[in-house]
Amino acid sequence: MTNKVLISTGGSGGHVIPAITIYNHLKNTHEILISTDVRGLSYLNKNHNVVVINTPKLNNYFLLPFSFLKILFLTIKSFFLLKKNNISILISTGGYMSLPLCLAAKILGIQTFLIEPNMVLGRANKFFLNFSKKLICYSKELINLPAGTNQKLSTIKPLIRKEYYESSTYLKKDNLFTIIIIGGSQGAKIFDKLLNKSFLNISKKVSLKIIHQTSEKNINFLRNFYSENNIESKVFSFEHNLNEILKQGDLCITRAGASSLAELSFLNIPFVAIPLPSSKDNHQYENAKYYKKQDCCWIIEQESFDDQKFGKFLLELINKSEDYLRKKNNLQKLNYQNTWNNVNQKILKIINEN
C-alpha cells in the first residue's frame, strides 16, 4: 500500500517553494496532500491537493489566549484530517504554521520529517525535533542544533524547483552586462532606491542592462528612473518563470533566502547577497555565509552599504575581474552531479528508511 503523505507549509515562499519541490519529488510514488495557511495559497495551484489550516501568529501578547485556543481547535481539526486521510508520513517545512499538524501527528504516532532549508535551525523545527524521525537539511553545520541530535540529520542538495533542472541554456543577444535585482515581490527599499545611485554612475562609464524585481507600488517609479537615464531595463513584480529571467543575468543582487541562493547557485550566477537585517536569528546572513565560505558570492551588510564603494566594486565585476570568474567557477564545482534524479533518490531513501 502506498504511504500517504501530508506536507505542511504556508506563509512565505521560503516555506512554500521547498514544499512544492518535495511534492514534485514524491508525487509519482506517494499519495500527497498539502496543508497551508491562507498566505501560502498564492504559491499553490489547482493541481495540488490542498487543505487550509490557517494557524495564527503567536507574536501579539494581548491576543495570545485567543491564539492558543485557536491552535487547540486547529490541532483537533488536524487530528481528524490526518486520521480521515490515513496519513502515515507528515513532512513539515517549519514555521508557526506547522504547530497544529505536528502536535496532531505526535498524538497519532505518525512519522514526522522536518525540512530546514536555512543554515539556522528554525524555532518550530527545533521545538519538534525530538518528536521527528529525521531533520532534512543542506549542511551538517546547522546552527542552533541541540546537542545530541546529530543522528537525526540527513543532508541533501538544496531543494530546487524542477523547472530549473529542465531549463535550456540562455543565449545572449547583446554584449550588455546584465544585473538582476531580486528584492522579492514585497520589494526592498535598499534595492529600489540606494542601488540606483550606483547604477546611474556606472551607466555613464559602461553599457549595462538591469532586470529588477520590486513591489507593485514601485514599478512605475523604477521604470521611469531607468528610462530617464537611458538604462536598458525590465521591471516586474512577480514572474512564474523566474528561472527564464535569472538565466539572463551575469550577476544577481539579492536578499539571502535559502531558495533564492540555491537557485542562483545552481544556475551558476555569481551573486551579491545583502541579507535582511531583521531576519529571525540572522538566518539570511548565515545562508549567504555558507556560499561565501566556498568563495561563491559576496556579502554586503545593509547597515554598512556605501553607494560609492559599491559602484567601484560593481565596475570591477562588470569588467569580469579574476574574483568574478573564480566565483563562477566555484559555483560550477559546487553543483557538480546536482541532478533532479540524484536528489530524488536521496529523498526517497530518507523517507522510506525503516
One domain for residues 316 and 169: yes
Residues written for the chain = 354
Would the pLDDT of 30 be above 90?
A: yes
Q: 288 near 275, Cβ under 8 Å? A: yes
One domain for residues 147 and 183: no
Q: What is the pLDDT averaged over residues 223-230? A: 94
One domain for residues 119 and 200: no
One domain for residues 171 and 106: no
Give DSSP secondary structure letters for 246-282.
Answer: HTT-SEEEE---HHHHHHHHHTT--EEE---TTSGGG
pTM of the model: 0.91
One domain for residues 28 and 132: yes
Q: What is the pLDDT of residue 287?
A: 96
Instruction: Report d(CA 263, CA 248) in Å as an integer.
Output: 13
299: Cα within 13 Å, side-chain hemisphere: 19
pLDDT band with cut points at 50, 70 and 90 for residue 339: very high
CA gyration radius, the chain = 21
Would the pLDDT of 104 be above 90?
A: yes
One domain for residues 320 and 344: no
Q: What is the pLDDT averaged over residues 139-145? A: 94
Would the pLDDT of 187 be above 60?
A: no
pLDDT band with cut points at 50, 70 and 90 for residue 46: confident
One domain for residues 177 and 148: no
Q: What is the pLDDT of residue 21?
A: 96
More confident residue, 190 or 45: 45
Would the pLDDT of 275 be above 60?
A: yes
Q: Percent of the chain scored above 70 by pLDDT? A: 95
Burial degree of 274 (CB within 10 A; 0-12, 13-18, 19+): buried
pLDDT band with cut points at 50, 70 and 90 for residue 60: low
Q: What is the pLDDT of residue 59?
A: 66
H-only helix segments in the chain: 13-26, 64-84, 99-108, 123-128, 162-166, 189, 195-203, 219-228, 242-246, 258-266, 283-293, 307-318, 322-334, 340-352
One domain for residues 37 and 186: no
Say which residues have a Cβ less than 8 Å from residue 61's Cβ, sequence separation at least 6.
none
Number of domains in the chain: 2
pLDDT band with cut points at 50, 70 and 90 for residue 103: very high
Say which residues have a Cβ less than 8 Å from residue 49's Cβ, sequence separation at least 6.
32, 33, 34
**Secondary structure of residue 205 in the 3-state scheme:** coil
pLDDT band with cut points at 50, 70 and 90 for residue 256: very high
User: What's the chain's average pLDDT?
Assistant: 90
Would the pLDDT of 280 be above 90?
A: no
φ, ψ dihedrals at 172, nearest 5°? -65, 135
Q: Which domain holds residue 147?
A: 4-160+338-352
Burial degree of 116 (CB within 10 A; 0-12, 13-18, 19+): buried
User: Which domain CATH number covers 94?
Assistant: 3.40.50.2000
Q: Which of 57-66, 87-96, 169-178, 290-299 has the lowest mean pLDDT?
A: 57-66
Instruction: Report d(CA 59, CA 69) in Å as an integer.
Output: 15
One domain for residues 193 and 265: yes
One domain for residues 96 and 17: yes
C-alpha cell at 114: 522536518
Q: Residue 124: which of 101, 108, 141 has the closest Cα?
A: 101
One domain for residues 128 and 259: no
Q: What is the pLDDT averaged over residues 206-211? A: 92
Q: What is the pLDDT averaged over residues 105-127? A: 96
Q: What is the pLDDT of residue 61?
A: 62
Grid cell 488536524 is found at 78
Instruction: State how far Cα 120 lies from the chain centre.
Output: 13
One domain for residues 198 and 274: yes
